[in-house]
Structure 1
Amino acid sequence: MTVRAAFVYRTDIHSPHCWAETLEEGRLRLAATLGDAVETSAHENVGEDAEGQRLIAGLAEDGADLVFLGSKGYQPFVLEIADSYPGTRFDICQGMRLAPNVSSFREAVEEVAYVSGMLAGGMTRTGLVGVPIATGHEVVYLNAFALGIRAVNPEARIHTRTVGSWMAPEREMAAVHELADLGCDVIGGALTENDPVVLTAAERGCHTTVRNSDRRHLAPDHVLVGNLVDWTPHLVRSVRAVADGTWEPGWRYYHAGDGVVFNTEAAAFVPEHVARPAAEAAELIRRGALDLWRGPIRNNRGEEVVPEGLGLADMLTGVEPLPGLTPLETFLPTDAFDWLLDTYLGEPFVRPPRTDMRIKTG
């Protein structure tokens, strides 16, 4: 059986916003790995709107066995499409709901963010790191990044500027300029997956940690490290499951130990006393031997959220884990994770509501 697998992207595959590029690289590796056992197609610039809904429904109508969707923004109408096409399986990156033929996959961003934070904390000379925030929903990445900074530089602090979008180049560049004006000499956070952030930081003489790609070629003297995602293990496993009739919907949460998320080596200009602890932490994370969320942790509202001697997982006794996930894996992507570490300066953080995207199983 040749499995027909379609890939749907919100942006250009090779746009300055490199999220789609990670899944496209996985598609190419999938085809190279399985050869004639899979037939793939890529669909770029598919909106999270009625036109996008028609295109995705058309893929199912044309006989796609499996549709990988690169944005959780497709979630609301994919559930409706899936009900009409039970023979097509839909797999949503960072999806928030399941159905009999709808699955979800995500990466443990916290693990690579922590290592990036260690390098940011080790390289700042002003003690100030700048983070342009996309929408306020990237709380997991932001907190893990701050924990990494705190691990090597407890006195360092983080300034933020909210952009209000994942794709707003002018506002991204303006945010970086404002952060540099405040004295931030390292720029990090989730929006560093976008080229304008990396290039503007380099223009201002700031180092950057880059999410979801290796952008050292853009600013080789400024990029400290890249966070990489290789979806190939998940894609191959999913296609093989469709082929042999064992595919089932589920929550997939991939860690560094699964070979899906990892950091590049630190840039050659990073001193050994900064690079070595980060590399050692990355290895501990890969082996599952480092609890990133160990207390004491206080949020920037002045509240203790994890006492000393405990981990965040210990505070989740009331969380009912989703099938196949731990309570911590269940909790992290939800709106209940609504605080930032006290490493963040400024007004107490309030996470924007997103009630339509809460994790549900039905």
Structure 2
Amino acid sequence: MIYLDYQSTTPLAPEARDAMMRWLDGPDGMAFANPHSPHKLGRLAKAAIELARERVAALLPPGGRIIFTGNACEAINLAMRGSGSGGSISISSIEHAAVSETATALGGAHVLNVSSEGQCNTRQDLPDDCRLVAVMAVNNEIGTIQPTIDWHRKAKENNALFLIDAVQAYGKIEITHADMIAISAHKFHGPKGIGALWVRDGLELQPQITGGLQEGERSGTLSPALIAGFGAAAALAKERMAGDEQHVEELWNRARDLFDGWELNGSDTARYKGNFNIRKDGLDVARLMSECRDVMFSAGSACASGSGRPSHVLKAIGLSDKQAKSSIRLGWGRYTSPDDIETAAKAINAAAKEQEKWG
């Protein structure tokens, strides 16, 4: 099988797995300690967590702190709910549901438009009562890179906080200029079930999960195994960022040739090139996926799959319902080979051509 769904989740790095096993099956079976206990084993577990915290923070701006969470959705909710109340929240029209649905639930959601290329520019006014602006770094469906530095500046000019959903960007591109940044380990070869919120120094959040407040603004016993895997994946991403970027771009260039005749959704240049969202008008995507069952790719965002609704992201860039529903997303990364792209393209193109032949 060929896995091309890297925006949904990524393969666990061997280095991350090794780091986790130290805390799942450690020497003498004594790696189960609670990192919040004061005894020797607890202190050892806490030290592992603090090392991972440093490694995760190394890919984020200086002058902030890491709060570990169960996932990026929790991190986003802590940021949006914990940073204040009242006023409006401005979000781009292509945000993940974790942002858009939370903004709607909090009331006062204000939607910022994007261009047909999928970028949200700052030539739009913010409401006078705007307290928070949320613009993601890299879109999960079409891979467009957003002008977050410009939006941070715009938010500051309007006395608003700025949140970046960096789930698809962390470990791949540089992330700067924010008040809060949400990330998730399993999107860059770490384990599932662990995320984090970076918070700028001086900004205090109201806890959304009360209890022991083990993370200051977040309660719950931390998992040394998950966090150690998170930290190992972050250290590896920092070490391999340039090489990973070159590898991803080489695969992108080959895919552009192999999928000649398909339309690209979103910008060709302002884009993370491990995301390849393309369409053929009239394509039956469900049938295509059935006929290419040995190639793992997506008909859209994994979080919205099965809803039957056309992608809100593709609609936001001007596609019709039919065009949106005839789109597929291929995602690749560190462990994808050129042969994977060649084989997948051959299967997908053959199945699409067969559909055209028989209408």
Please report the TM-score for the alignment, with normalisation by the length of structure 2. Answer: 0.36
Please report the TM-score for the alignment, with normalisation by the length of structure 1. Answer: 0.35
Q: Which protein has greater RCO, CA pairs closer than 8 Å, 6+ apart?
A: 2
- Give the greater-gyration-radius structure (CA): 2
